[in-house]
Amino acid sequence: MRNIIKFSLIAFSITLFFSCENTSNEKVVNVYTHRHYKADDQLFAKFTEETGIKINIVNASADELIQRLETEGKNSNADILITVDAGRLYRAQEKDLLQPIESKIIETNIPENFREKDGHWFGITYRARIIAYAKDRVDPTQIQNYEDLADSIWKDKVVIRSSENIYNQSLLASIILANGEDQAKDWASKVVENMARNPKGSDRDQVKAVASGEGDIAVVNTYYIGLMLNDENEEERKAGEKVGIIFPNQSNRGTHINISGIGVTKYAPHKENAIKLIEFLSGIEAQQTLANLNYEYPINPDASKASILKTWGDFKSDTVELYKLGEYNSKAVKIFDEVGWK
Amino acid sequence: MSKKTTYWWNKWTGGAIVILLLVLTPIITILVKLFGSPGEHWSHIVSNLLPSYFANSMILLLGVGLFTFIIGVSMAWLVSIYEFPGRKYFEWLLILPLAFPSYMMSYSYVGILEYTGPLQAFLRNNFDIHIKGPIIDIMNMPGAIFILSISLFPYVYVICRASFMRQSSELQEAALLLGSSRMRVFRKIALPMARPAVAGGIALVGMEVLNDYGTVKYFGVDTFTSGIFRAWFSFGDINTAIHLSAILTLIVLLLIWLENFQRGSKGWTSGNSTSRPAIRIKPNNKSTRFIYSGLCLLVLLISFIFPLSQLFYWVSLTWRNVVDAEFGILIFRSFSLAIGSAIAIALLSIFLLYTVRISPLKWTKHIAKTASLGYAIPGAVIAVGIMIPMIEMDRLLIWLTSNQGGMIISGTLAILVLAYIVRFMAVGYNAIDAGFQKTGASVNEVARSLGSSPLRTLRKIDLPLIRNSIAAAILLAFVDILKELPLTLILRPFNYHTLATKAFDMATNEMIAESANASLVVVLTGVIPIILLNNVISRKRSES
């Protein structure tokens, strides 16, 4: 009996031991992505159809992916890293996890300000961080800039999520870049005083808080509004309809934007296939699917936008170099801690 | 010739010691590392976060301990002593919340109470009642205490119920004859006699509270376990994670010692083991009977039916988008991992317990008991504790084979299975121990005296006799592993999800309604053994 136990445990462990993924040198590209939208799966299937290259997807949080790439080192199977927020891409580049690539097609499809100057990473969609206000209670002309969030008229009326979230960190980084550290810290502490409640929940929760009356204005990414207005749950749609949106800072530097970005990993075993994938994703058709199913803005200026985005119209966006958002991230986190923005 | 087993060292005890060492490795590693150097973030954490970790963990322990005591003991008392409509069903229905992992319950309740949830929608659309924000905001400490209490009280309930049932009626009847009120009998006799059971149940609840990650993370309550995760995943600082784990382990060991200490050496039984249990009382007042039914129903509604309904509601909205081939693979992976580990646990438990049975040495009993220690240690600690020797071994292997690449051993399923064995050995152990106790050693001894080897006797005699207990052990371990979250999150192979981690991942990524699909599978799977085991228990009781 014990022999049987011994044998089966050994056999069991051996098979588990080597349960790593198989890589072949065929037409394959391995993608490490943080995005988890159904739109992406559709697109990848289309890519395989057109090129015959199979895509293996590995889905995890950006932190885990970056940590994994660091641990795997030269033995990494990953060809592509896709993650949200320019700051994270900058971090990956700083840790020497990405390699620069050149492609005429990519350069034609993606505008310069969305490309890292040496080709380490590229944006594939972008989103704006906007202000949502209660349509029945707020006069939108009173809030035109991010800086206005610090106004005392908004005392106990602002809802915004936690400082732990990277979208807020990048927003504060952009404010530091525009106005300097001291003013940014002053702004942040005044916003904390204006908060209707302690930061909690997601961006959508902030919109719901405005809809329910807990607050009057919220800060949220554009695509969440799109998602809410098209949600299966009628209550979510109703909540989304109760808020109007403003693109802040139109009369000065422009609205803060951020990207979903993609890069080829440093030790990518299938570099050519990876470049083909990026070229595909930057093309007009892919752009339209990628962006519109998730209500993001396509990076390719020739691609058409989702109808809801069209109704919002064009807006002026902040042209600060995106990599700087990563550079100033730790300063932003420090300021958040100092002013007690939870 | 039968082999002698009177040596202190033979194949059986040797094997038992190996298993013991394996199980203790993570715990010992953690405690040893306590004296090593902490990570770079340690001082930042000590000054800013450690006090709140302490405070929050203590408040949680006290709060949840108190409420599970109140709910668990009162329900156990009602169900054991009184007769009221539906009692027979409530008796086992009240165990059902155990099938619902606490973090899944926290998602459900947030969904029920939130602005766009069904309850508020109902109030708004039909009664024009508008509420700012959620009906009650539970994403805080009181909310965490609430959720953990309603999902963990069955531990106290089950243990207390067993104790109340076992108590002889004579003491209580004597007290009643002498003029004591029923409440006084409860306070002065029944409850004190159930004290070790109550303490044991609350200790178990305490372990689960310290182990919890999903609930406290979602509600924003900073505890040791969430701190360990933060150090490991956000800072990448494993040394800090180890230090936090070590402190948490010390707290747990303190709790265990406290529980043992307060039990002392006093005897708690009534002495006469053949005394009959108390006959149930049917209150004369009809409304009293319905009040008791109502109370049980209320607890059941809050702790199981409401959150389950929310899951069904969400699944009805989202299953079309979620249930596909990938979901099927997820279920398959989750189930096969859990079953494989459960079988391994059962086999190892049989081995350990049989060693105790055939070895006349006293200390073998302690080996076996210590192997069950893993159940008390939080999953995150075990995960960290197993990772360290694995990373060291990987470094060694890399150096030996001059492998340029990354980790070899770390991040494979084998490590995860090993961790499950360490954590849930106690589950299999207790179930099979019960089986061995019930069947007794006499048949085994007869066979041995007739010349059968220990191994042969195990195969031909003991195992068939304890068949049901083996099945129970595998089933219980299977369900516990399926529900497990923190350990799996840390040790899972890259890109490998279980139903539990998938539900957590979706909920924390603003796809909380979609997460209900995975949650529902876990909960429904957990309900089955409760129903099955309950049938077994009630059948046995009617037979005796």
CA A146 to chain centre: 20
CATH number of the structural domain A19-125+259-305: 3.40.190.10
Check: CB of residue A264 under 8 Å from CB of residue A278.
yes
Q: Cβ contact (<8 Å) for B417 and A16?
A: yes
Q: Would you mind telling me the total number of residues written for chain A in this entry?
A: 342
In chain B, residues with a C-beta closer than 8 Å to the C-beta of A200 are 139, 220
Name the minimum distance, in Å, from the CA of B536 to any CA of chain A: 28
pLDDT at B364: 66
User: To which H or E segment does residue A29 belong?
Assistant: strand A28-33
A41 — pLDDT class (breaks 50, 70, 90): confident
| Biggest alpha carbon–alpha carbon distance for chain A | 81
Q: Which residue of B has its CA nearest to A4?
A: B347
Closest approach of A109 to chain B, Cα-based (Å): 30
Q: Please, which residues bridge with residue A82 across strands? A: A33, A262
Average pLDDT of every residue of chain A: 88
Report pLDDT for B266.
55
How many other C-beta atoms lie within 10 A of the C-beta of residue A23?
12
Is-contact A34 A65, C-beta < 8 A? Answer: yes
Provide, as residue numbers in chain A, all residues whose Cβ is less than 8 Å from the Cβ of B458: 1
Q: Looking at residues A182-207, what average pLDDT do you find?
A: 91
Q: Are B231 and A62 in contact (CB under 8 A)?
A: no
Average pLDDT rounded to a whole number, residues B510-526: 92
Mean pLDDT of A71-82: 84
CATH placement of domain B44-166+196-263+281-309: 1.10.3720.10
Residue B372, pLDDT > 80, answer no
A54 strand-pairing partners: A28
Q: Which chain A positions have a beta carbon within 8 Å of B116's beta carbon?
A: 208, 233, 235-236, 238-239
Q: How far apart are CA B373 and CA B370, in angstroms?
A: 5
Mean pLDDT score, A169-183: 95
B122 inside 8 A of chain A by CB: no
B360: Cβ contacts below 8 Å, ≥ 6 apart: B5, B6
Q: Please state, in angstroms and rounded to a whole number, the distance separating the CA atoms of residues B229 and B103.
A: 16
Q: Residue B493 has what pLDDT?
A: 81
Which residues of chain A have a CB within 8 Å of the CB of B413?
A: 16, 19
pLDDT at B75: 93
Three-state DSSP at B363 gives helix
Contact A63 B321 (CB under 8 A): no
CB-count exposure of residue B467 (10 Å: 0-12, 13-18, 19+): exposed
Q: What is the dihedral of CA B412, B417, B418, B419, to 10 degrees?
A: 100
Which of B116, B347, B405 is the closest to A236 by Cβ?
B116
Map out the domains of chain A as residue ranges.
Answer: 19-125+259-305, 127-256+323-339
C-alpha separations of A70 from A76, A95, B407, B536 in Å: 9, 8, 11, 52
Q: What is the pLDDT of residues B426-458, one digit of tens each?
A: 888 888 888 887 777 788 888 888 888 888 888
For A185, the token pair is 């810290």
DSSP letter at B450 equals T
For chains A and B, CB pairs below 8 A equal 101
Model confidence at A135, pLDDT cuts 50, 70, 90, reads: very high
Decide if A209 and B236 are in contact by the 8 Å CB cutoff.
no
User: What is the average pLDDT score of chain B?
Assistant: 83
- Encoded amino acid at B153, one letter: F
Is CATH 3.40.190.10 the right assignment for the domain spanning A127-256+323-339?
yes
* A4 touches B: beta carbon within 8 Å: no
Distances (CA, A) of B55 to A1, B62, B213, B229: 50, 11, 16, 18
pLDDT digits (tens, 9 = 90+) for B103-134: 999 999 999 998 888 888 888 888 888 887 77
Q: Residue A182's pLDDT is what?
A: 95
Contacts of A71 in chain B (CB under 8 A): 406-407
> CA B277, CA B371: separation in Å to the nearest integer?
34
Task: Give residue-wise pLDDT tens across range B32-66.
Answer: 877 777 666 677 777 777 888 899 999 999 999 99
Which of chain A's residues have a Cβ under 8 Å away from the Cβ of B133? 197, 209, 212-214
> Given this model, what pLDDT does residue A24 score?
44
CB spacing of B413 vs A20 below 8 angstroms: no
Give me the pLDDT at residue A245, please. Answer: 93
Name every chain A residue with its beta carbon within 8 A of the beta carbon of B130: 212-213
Phi, psi angles (nearest 5°) of residue B56: -65, -40
Q: Is the dihedral of CA B198, B201, B206, B207 positive or negative?
A: positive
Angle at B248 between CA B415 and CA A201, to 5 degrees: 85
A19-125+259-305 and A127-256+323-339 have identical folds: yes
Q: Cβ contact (<8 Å) for B406 and A75?
A: yes
Q: Is A24 on the interface with B (CB under 8 A)?
A: no
Contact B200, B67 (CB under 8 A): no
Of B395, B392, B389, B390, the C-alpha closest to B411 is: B390
Region B513-526: what's the mean pLDDT? Answer: 94
pLDDT class for B536, splitting at 50, 70, 90? low
Query: Residue B511 is encoded by which pair of tokens?
Result: 């796809």
ipTM of predicted complex = 0.72
CA atoms within a 13 Å half-sphere pointing along the CA-CB vector of A86: 28
Q: B264 Cβ partners below 8 Å, 6+ apart?
A: none
* B window 435-494, beta carbon within 8 A of A: 455, 458-459, 493-494
**Mean pLDDT across the stretch A318-341?**
88
SS3 A134: strand
* Residue of B495, B502, B511 best to disrupt the A interface, most CBs of A under 10 A: B495
- What local confidence, expressed as pLDDT, does residue B422 receive? 92
pLDDT at B190 over 90: no
Summarize pLDDT for A306-317 with one digit per residue, the tens: 888 989 989 999
> What percent of chain B clears pLDDT 90, i.e. is strictly above it?
29
**Residue A57 host element (H or E):** strand A54-59
* Statement: residue B503 has pLDDT above 50: yes
Contact residues, A window 181-220, toward B, CB-based 8 Å cutoff? 197, 200-205, 208-209, 211-214
Pairwise CA distance, residues B373 & B472, whole Å = 20
In Å, how far from its chain's centre is CA B504?
18
The predicted-structure confidence for A87-131, as pLDDT tens digits, reads as follows 889 989 999 999 999 999 999 999 998 999 899 999 999 999 999
Domain boundaries of chain B, sorted by first residue: 1-36+323-379+412-496, 44-166+196-263+281-309
Q: What pLDDT score was predicted for residue B389?
A: 79
- Average pLDDT of the residues in B326-330: 91
Cα–Cα distance, B378 to B369 (Å, whole number):
18
pLDDT at A2: 63
pLDDT on residue A97: 94
pLDDT at A149 over 70: yes
Q: Which residue do the tokens 């004591």 mark?
A: B180
Mean pLDDT of A166-170: 92
Residues of B in contact with A18 (CB under 8 A): 412
d(CA A78, CA A31): 6
Chain B residues lying within 8 Å of A76, measured CB to CB: 405-406
Which residues of B202-348 form beta strands (DSSP E)?
none
Rounded Cα distance, B245 and B225, in Å: 8
The Cα A133–Cα A207 span in angstroms is: 8
Which of the pair, B133 or B139, is modelled with greater confidence? B139
* A170 touches A258 (CB < 8 A): yes
In the structure, what pLDDT confidence band is assigned to residue A67 with cuts at 50, 70 and 90? Answer: confident
Question: What is this structure's pTM?
Answer: 0.81
CA closest to A337 among chain B residues: B48
Q: Quick check: B201 and B156 in contact, CB under 8 A?
A: yes
